[in-house]
């Protein structure tokens, strides 16, 4: 029995020596490391009936990240929003419209913003939600519905979308939003895109000049 105990102890010791480096390697593999920041933006044009809410994702890594149907280069950011009357390519989801218009025309001066970092798993969850969100716009599925749904999925917040933009912005304020203009990467012409389809069938196409120049 004494010899058996020694053998079992020796085996456990060997296993522990082999296993410990694996544990440390897993803990240091960056699985919880932040790969991007996600921001929730809210602005009002004409209080309380006209405004916009959207999200913005910034790549913190040295690699290209997948954000919905968009490939986000290292060091860049992408805005994603749900649009209706202010675009000419059809109602639905767009990439970089806010970023373009803010940088070129000062159209999206953000009054309130919330920002947090996300790890790779959280970003993948956000991407799946982007691809599966109804690609349309109506009083129920609007810019706030979209932005709040995406933000809630990675933040743990429970923002509830209502049709009145002022109420959406008030939620961001009481939810810890900070006042100030969101600094967004200036996209090139070919980076301003509309999402077509949903899920595995989602793809991006360039916007027309009427949407881009507005």
Phi/psi region, residue 106 (left: phi>0; alpha: psi -120 to 50; beta: rest), is left
pLDDT at 16 over 60: no
Q: Are 137 and 82 in contact (CB under 8 A)?
A: yes
Question: What's the pLDDT score for residue 192?
Answer: 98
Residues whose CB is less than 8 angstroms from the CB of residue 120 and which lie 6 or more positions away in sequence, other chains included: 30, 31, 33, 35
Q: Are 99 and 77 in contact (CB under 8 A)?
A: yes
Task: Report residue 29's pLDDT band, with 50, 70 and 90 as the boundaries.
Answer: very low
pLDDT at 19 over 50: no
Q: Considering the entire predicted model, what is its pTM? A: 0.83
CA distance 195 to 149: 17
């Amino acid at each position: 029995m004494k010899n058996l105990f020694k053998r079992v102890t020796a085996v456990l010791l060997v296993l522990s020596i082999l296993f410990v480096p694996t544990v440390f390697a897993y803990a240091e593999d960056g699985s919880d490391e932040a790969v991007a920041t996600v921001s929730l933006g809210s602005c009002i044009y004409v209080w309380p009936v006209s405004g916009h809410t959207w999200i913005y994702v910034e790549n913190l890594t040295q690699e290209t990240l997948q954000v919905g149907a968009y490939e986000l280069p290292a060091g860049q950011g992408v805005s994603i929003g749900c649009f209706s009357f202010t675009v000419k390519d059809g109602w639905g989801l767009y990439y970089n419209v806010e970023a373009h218009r803010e940088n070129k025309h000062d159209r999206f001066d953000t009054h309130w913003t919330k920002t947090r970092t996300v790890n790779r798993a959280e970003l993948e969850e956000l991407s799946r939600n982007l691809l599966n969100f109804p690609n349309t716009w109506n009083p129920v599925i609007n810019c706030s519905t979209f932005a709040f749904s995406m933000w809630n999925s990675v933040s743990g917040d429970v923002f509830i979308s209502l049709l009145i933009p002022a109420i959406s912005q008030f939620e961001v304020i009481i939810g810890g939003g900070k006042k100030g203009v969101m600094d967004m990467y200036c996209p090139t012409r070919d980076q301003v895109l509309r999402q077509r389809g949903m899920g595995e069938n989602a793809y991006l196409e360039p916007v027309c000049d009427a949407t881009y120049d507005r």
